Amino acid sequence: MLNSSPNKVSLTALPPLALYIHFPWCEKKCPYCDFNSHQIKERVSKGGFDEQRYINALIADLETELPNVWGRQVHSIFIGGGTPSLLSAEGMDQLLCAIRARVNLEPDTEITMEANPGSIEADKFAGFAKAGINRVSIGVQSFQDEQLKALGRIHNGDEAKRAIEIAMKHFKSVNLDLMYGLPKQTLKAAKADVETALSFKTPHLSFYNLTLEPNTYFANFPPQLPSDDEVDAIFEQNLDLLTKAGYQRYEVSAYAKKNQECKHNLNYWRFGDYIGIGAGAHGKISFPDKITRQVRERHPESYMQAMETKDNALIESREIPAKDLPFEFMLNALRLTNGVATNTFSERTGLPLSAISQGLLEASKKQLLDENPSQLKVTPLGLRYLNNLQEIFLD
């Protein structure tokens, strides 16, 4: 059990601020996906949805948040989904221009857009780059047609390769999202996926273990997945291949070449702030005396109607109780392989280090945390049993 934490939060400085924009539509809902995504059912416009209406709602949503972040600079933008690359290049340009007119962006702000291979076109991506997108994250998942079919993906391996080639021509940075532990996946097949990904020499790679999330098709109709031992063998193989290719594992599922880490995601793991706009978007905003979280209307239609008829689309806006902050901070920071400086805890939570001192002692005794007092850093054992480590800080 942790020491009792003070009831009062006192921040001497506000953390870095990012902007997350959620795009809720996709061409097909994947059976493993538990994100807030909705399959396009009607051809409202060329993109399959009312693009202008949604952009208007996003801009209005951002404006409702401006009083909470006056004077603060935005360090990164991440446009996730769904499939944001279904937007037109003109629509993306309109959205980013509206953002620049309303918030102070730091020079060379990292602006990431998620994309699926089936929605990548050369001319359209040239337009995205011109609009200001400088980083793309492509949801490849696998390069093997059989695996892609089992995952319910709408693209094939050749389309994935072509999409990467197009992205590499237009953007400063490209990330590939891949999965392992796929239905009936063998060690050999997993190795082929990694080697194909490495052949493109993208500066960033993400590897996620396929898990059966609640309220998904796979949760109700589970496919035949590799055993835990087989998944462990695949992971160790992946890690060895990536390390030899010069990628550093800097977060549980993220690997990057030197100085190519995703700034936006690092801000999450370091317990930074982020404005969240769009259907179902979550946000975290700090003030000198409190830290708040927000959630927007989840369904796209409900979200747009709320922005058109009310002052905001919030369904939840709450102050995080001081007693919950230690766990929330450690839940994020412990995902980083190099950890964070110990004083970051007080800087980002406004609480004294004594709030987690008992947990730090327990985790160190179990060899889950490094004993270096200046760094909150997981050991290799702690990374392997991350859930157990994080639970130590659950009050």
| SS3 sequence of 31-42 | CCCCCCCEECCC
Closest listed residue to residue 82, CA positions, set 2, 22, 142 = 22
Closest listed residue to residue 185, CA positions, set 239, 154, 142 = 142
From first to last of the 395 residues of the chain, give the pLDDT tens digit.
344 445 689 999 999 999 999 999 998 888 888 888 888 864 444 446 899 999 999 999 999 999 999 999 999 999 999 999 999 999 999 999 999 999 999 999 999 999 999 878 889 999 999 999 999 999 999 999 999 999 989 999 999 999 999 999 999 999 999 999 999 999 999 999 999 999 999 999 999 999 888 888 888 888 999 999 999 999 999 999 999 999 999 999 999 999 999 999 999 999 999 999 999 999 999 999 999 999 999 999 999 999 999 889 999 999 999 999 999 999 999 999 999 999 999 999 999 999 999 999 999 999 999 999 999 999 999 999 999 999 999 86
d(CA 124, CA 84): 12
**At residue 202, what is the residue type?**
T
Secondary structure (3-state) at 150: helix
d(CA 175, CA 137): 5
pLDDT at residue 1, as a whole number: 37
For 108, the enclosing helix (H) or strand (E) is strand 104-115
100: number of Cβ within 10 Å: 13
Contact 175, 135 (CB under 8 A): yes
Q: Which domains does the chain have, with CATH numbers?
A: 17-267 (3.20.20.70), 322-395 (1.10.10.920)
pLDDT at residue 41, as a whole number: 63
Tokens 């859930």 correspond to what residue?
Answer: 387
- Which are the contacts of 305, defined by CB distance < 8 A and separation ≥ 6? none
Q: What is the DSSP string of 344-392?
A: HHHHHH-S-GGGGHHHHHHHHHTT-B---TTEE-B-HHHHHTHHHHHHT
pLDDT at residue 140, as a whole number: 96
**At residue 79, what is the residue type?**
I
pLDDT at residue 99, as a whole number: 98
Q: Which residues pair with 235 in a beta bridge?
A: none
Contact 124, 88 (CB under 8 A): yes
pLDDT at residue 46, as a whole number: 46
pLDDT at residue 327, as a whole number: 96
Give the helix ranges, DSSP H, for the chain.
51-65, 89-102, 122-131, 145-150, 157-170, 187-199, 217-220, 228-244, 263-269, 300-309, 325-333, 344-349, 357-365, 380-384, 386-391
